[in-house]
Structure 1
Amino acid sequence: MEGMKEEYFKWYSPHLNRDVEMLVFGHAGYPVVIFPTSMGSFHENKDMGLIASAQWYVEQGLIQIFCPESNDRQSFYNKSIHPHERIQNHVAYDKMICHELVERIRLNTSAAKVVVAGCSFGGYHASNFAFRHPGYVSHLFSMSGAFDIRNFMDEYQHDDIYYNCPLEYLPGLQDGELWKMGIVLGTSNWDICFDSNIKLHQILKSKNIQHWFDVRQDRQHDWPLWKEMFPHYLSTIKFD
């Protein structure tokens, strides 16, 4: 066993007009992109033990984990700018993830698609990316995700807000790749995002999109729960 390889990357993003940082874990395997929680750094998922929970998969060469930073401080949580600028900053982040990260991962691995995952607001980012780009995503693992961004937008209306709010645009999507995706919505009956997960579950169910709605009992919206979920969800991937 080669152990868990860790690499640090930093590059200038033309979409964000700033430097972006990322950690990558593993020497080989299926690519897994994990988003941080609200305003989280590129090393948050390592610091909080989520990467260690998947160590066996990484060391076996079954998966390679990519941990990019968030752009939330410039977008949803930046109350000093107009909501139009907030959503445009998020759109730029989506383009960065798509064109600067995921498309390059697909070029450099045998996998034509990636897994996307995230906890809490990272679950939003993972879900939104998966539903916006279903041709690039084989699996979505959302752990206690929140899926409504309207509360960040001060009642401002714009198409880019609608098309980044999965609870609103998902009902109308017809891309066949959605029905091929392995989707897990993880939550608990005590989760502060439980209602949001029920809504997304009901939309997927109404569209006959197969998914696992995993409701755990009497667990808080916090890292101990997510560290249990993540390796369990990785076990649903059919590795070659």
Structure 2
Amino acid sequence: MHFAGRVTQRRMTVPGGPRDLQVIRYGHFGRPLLMFPSEAGQAWQPADFGLIDAIAPLIDEGRVTVFTVDTLDDWTWSAYNEPTEERAHRYGTYHRWITDSVVPWIYEELGGRTDIMTTGVSMGAYHAVNMALSRADLFPLAIAMSGNYDPASFRGFGETGDATYFANPMSYVPNLHGDHLAWLRSRVGIVLVVGQGPFEWDPTRALPGTLALAEALSDKDIRHELDVWGQDSAHDWPWWHRQLAHHLPRFV
């Protein structure tokens, strides 16, 4: 099915960032879903590669409203000439843009505050999960497909500190404890989807990365689902179409 419904675009300033970024809304009503593209992708990428069409019936029925965003990956985690800690500081700029600019606009569009789901593919899966785990007050559910959740492994080098630690689920999840952990257990849910086919192991490390995060979440008894698809399920858009269309309907 081809999505032919309402589309709204908004370009926003990123305080401290290198350029303005775009947000695109698909749909007229429904539970909001914040969608992150693949590595260094732009807000139009999910539509151009068919992911919006894959869930078009849910959008047209008013069950979900999708908000896609530009990334700053080329300036943050994919800026491989920069030390890991510098990349993490830059990622913090992007994270704040999402929480301080994009989220209020979503509320404005929908007429009030509401919980927002996140989703993403490849590096976008990392963004979706880290947003949910770090700001579960805003994002209580993430559906993540083919992600690697250890940004320190993204060709990292140099000394790392707090910026990297607090942006890295594979660092902070094992250390969660006390009241905050109890609150996360009651608040957040993570759906981790990955295949066993081409490019899910090498070079993306999506399969081992997904299994590692699932184990870390299990150790902390944080609500999650692990859905491992077969050896034909590749690190590619046609499979992400099927995976999101499979999982999203029960949440909207």
TM-score of the superposition, structure 1-length normalised? 0.92
Q: Which residue of 2 aligns with 1:194?
A: 207
Distance 1:43 1:175, change over 3 A: farther
SS of 1:117's equivalent?
Answer: strand
Where in structure 2 are the equivalents of 1:82-231 lying within 5 Å? 82-106=83-107, 108-109=109-110, 112-152=114-154, 153-173=156-176, 174=181, 176-190=183-197, 191-192=200-201, 193-218=206-231, 219-231=233-245
Q: Where do 4+ consecutive residues of structure 1 move more than 4 Å? A: none
- Counterpart secondary structure, 1:150: helix
Q: How far off is 1:151 after superposition?
A: 2.7
Identity score, percent: 25
Distance 1:54 1:210, change over 3 A: same
State the AA in 1 paired with 2:218.
K
Q: Which runs of 5+ in 1 are unaligned?
A: none
Q: What is the distance in 1 between the residues matched to 2:182 and 2:65?
A: 27
Matches of 1:82 and 1:154, distance apart in 2: 5
- The runs of 5 or more residues in structure 2 that have no matched partner are none
Secondary structure in structure 2 of the residue aligned to 1:99: helix
Shift in alpha-carbon separation, 1:210–1:11, aligned structure 2, 3 A: closer
Distance in 2, matches of 1:210 and 1:81, equals 35
Counterparts of 2:72 and 2:169 in 1: how far apart (Å)?
18
Greater share of strand residues, 1 or 2? 1
Quote how far apart the aligned CAs of 1:43 are: 0.8
* Range that drifts further, 174-183 or 127-136: 174-183
* Paired letter, 1:149: P
**Cα distance 1:217–1:22, how it changes in 2: closer, same or farther (>3 A)?**
same
Residue identity matched to 2:195: S
The equivalent residue for 1:11 is 12
Tell me which moved more, 106-115 or 57-66.
Answer: 106-115
Q: Quick one: structure 1 residues 195 and 179, their matched pair in 2 at CA, closer, same or farther if it must change by over 3 Å?
A: farther
Contact (CA 8 Å) 1:140, 1:184: kept in 2 or not? yes
Cα distance in structure 1, aligned partners of 2:69 and 2:228: 27
**RMSD over aligned Cα, in angstroms?**
1.9
SS of residue matched to 1:134: coil
- The answer to which of 2-11 and 28-37 deviates more is 2-11
Task: Measure the CA separation in 1 of the matches of 2:104 and 2:141.
Answer: 16
* Residues 101-129 of structure 1, C-alpha deviations (whole Å, 9 max, x = no match): 12442455356210000001100011111
Q: Distance in 1 between matches of 2:23 and 2:10?
A: 5
Aligned residues: 237
Tell me, yes or no, if the aligned pair for 1:9 and 1:23 is still in contact at 8 Å.
yes
Aligned to 1:234: 248
CA deviation string 1:65-93 (max 9, x = no partner): 01110001111222344444322111100
Over residues 111-154 of structure 1, what are the superposed CA-to-partner deviations in whole Å (9 max), with x where a residue is unaligned?
Answer: 62100000011000111111110111121100011101113331
Question: Secondary structure at the residue paired with 1:236?
Answer: helix
The residue matched to 1:198 in structure 2 has which SS? helix
CA contact (8 A) 2:40 2:72 kept: yes
Distance 1:178 1:39, change over 3 A: farther
